[in-house]
Every structure is written in structure tokens, then in C-alpha cells.
Amino acid sequence: MKTLLLRLEPVIWLLFGAGIMVGTILLPGYLLTVALGGPLGLLPEGARSYERALAIASNPLGRLVLLALIALPLWKGAHHVRALAADFFGPGADVVVGSLLYAIAAVGSVAAILAVAAI
Amino acid sequence: MARPSHPQAMTPHRPAPTRTAPPTVPDDFYTKPRMLTYLLFDATGIVYLLVGFVALRVARALDSGPEAWADLMSDFAQPLYVGFHLLALVSVLFVGVRFFRLFPKAQPARLGPAKPPPRPVLHAMLYVVWIVVTIALLVVLGGVWP
């Protein structure tokens, strides 16, 4: 498993780097509107309607942005939680913790692809 | 194309006589501001993981129909979700400020024939992209345009 993690390291770092860069760039806009502004009634009525949200998310660019918003933060999260676990619990459990976290991120990413494709 | 080398090809057959102790977090880490900031930066990973899965719920609600969307918006108005999303916003801003400060320093001096722009310019470019994308998302998702 350790060898597999080492072999996959370039891919993991690519996804982690995309997660920290693209995820961080995209998240404030999403959090201020869909996650906070809409539910708290800070946006105009039409802005939070299902029809409008569906039209934006089913657009090819909208799908791409939504997929990036879901999948990339998972890889940033998995990699940094792995580093945090290694800091606190030492390198002994790193292979198990790392494998588990990357598996969660991979499953979440596949689920994101399926969910975005289904919209 | 050359075959990729084994990732442990350079590992010595026998461990060297002097071993480097694995880095550990000191017991009083919470009294050391630099250590605390570093650990907080890593801890934002927990928030990012959760944000990813909550955003997945948004996509599934869009696929499920208007009722699921209304339920989601109703859930998002609950204090637990509002608190979490505020925490997520603070985490993202913290990561952005720290990472964008680090990013120019981590660039190689030369990329093939091209030299990366000076650090302050690269730093400013990251902020410009961040602000422009955020404004674009606010305009589109906030119902201003189209």
C-alpha cells in the first residue's frame, strides 16, 4: 500500500494543488450565495429558485464549475487531514490514514461526476 | 518513453546508523503562534472535506427536483448549517491569504525558457483572479446576471 501511495503521489499532489488553488478561488462565491445568501433570504427571490439554479448548473460551464466545487476541495481536505494526522499521531499510521482519506476523496469525486452528469 | 523508476529505488538496503527522529508536535504547541497557524492551515482540510460533501448534496438536490431543492434551502437556513458555512468561509479566506502568499515563493526560478513574473506581481495576479472569479460567481449565483 505504501508503494501504491508513493506511485500515486504525483496524481495526488496534482489534485491537492488543484483543490487548494481552484477550490479556494471558487468557494467564496459559492458560500456567499448558495450556502448563505440564498437560504438566509439575502438574495432576490428569483435568484434562489430551483429553475434558475438548475439552468446554471446544467450549462456545460456550470457543470464544470460545480464538479470542481465538489471534487477538488475533497482532495485538498484529504491531503491536509493526512498531514495533520501525521503531525499528531506520527508516521506509523500514515499509510492507513492516507489510504482511507484518499479513498474517501476518490469515492466523493466519482459520486460528484455521477451527480453532475445526472443534472 | 523510459520506464518509470521504482519509487523506493534510492532507499538504502540497510538504515543508516544515525536516524533522523520523525517530527512530532510539541506538547505546548498551542502556545506557539507559528505552530498553531501551521496546524490550523492543515485543519482547514476537515472543513474542505465537509464542504465538498455538502456541495455534493447540492448537486443531488438539483437532480432530484424542486422539493429536494426547497428542503436543501430550508436545511441551509438552520443554525448548524449557517454556522458551518460561516466557518467554511473563514477557513477559505485564511487558506487563500496564506497559500497565495506562499505560492510565489514556491515557484522555480525558471520554467524552461520562461521566467515567472516577479513575486509581488504573481501575488497580485492571484488576488485579481480570486476577486474577479468571486465577483463573477456573486453576479451569476446572486441573480444579478443573466
Tell me the CATH number at B50: 1.20.1300.10
**C-beta separation of A63 from B63 below 8 A:** no
Q: Does B41 touch chain A (CB under 8 A)?
A: yes
Task: Judge whether B65 lies within some domain.
Answer: yes
- Domain housing B51: 31-106
CB-count burial class (<10 Å; 0-12, 13-18, 19+) for B93: middle
B97 and B35 in a common domain: yes
What's the CATH fold of domain A2-118?
Answer: 3 helical TM bundles of succinate and fumarate reductases (1.20.1300)
Task: Judge whether B10 lies within some domain.
Answer: no
Q: For chain A, give every domain's residue range.
A: 2-118
Residue spans of alpha helices (H) in chain B: 33-64, 66-76, 79-102, 119-141
* Cell triple for A43: 438574495
**What ipTM describes this predicted complex?**
0.95
Report how many domains make up chain B.
Answer: 2
Residue written as grid cell 502556545: B31
Residues of chain B in contact with residue A36, where contact means CB-CB under 8 angstroms, are 76, 82, 85-86, 89
Pick from A70, A91, A105: CB nearest B55: A70
**pLDDT at residue B23 is higher than 80:** no
Taking an 8 Å cut-off on Cβ atoms, the answer to whether A19 and B69 are in contact is no
Pick from A24, A80, A112: CB nearest B56: A112
Pick from A24, A36, A44: CB nearest B99: A24
What is the DSSP code (8-state) at residue A48?
A: G
B139 and B102 in a common domain: no
Residues in A 46-85 with any Cβ partner in B closer than 8 A: 46-48, 50-54, 56-58, 66, 69-74, 76-84
pTM, whole model, 2 decimals?
0.89
pLDDT digits (tens, 9 = 90+) for B118-140: 999 999 999 999 999 999 999 99
What is the full per-residue pLDDT of chain A (119 aa) written as tens digits? 888 888 999 999 999 999 999 999 999 999 999 999 999 999 988 888 999 999 999 999 999 999 999 999 999 999 999 999 998 888 888 899 999 999 999 999 999 999 999 99
Q: Helix, strand, coil shares of chain A as percentages rounded to 5?
A: 90, 0, 10
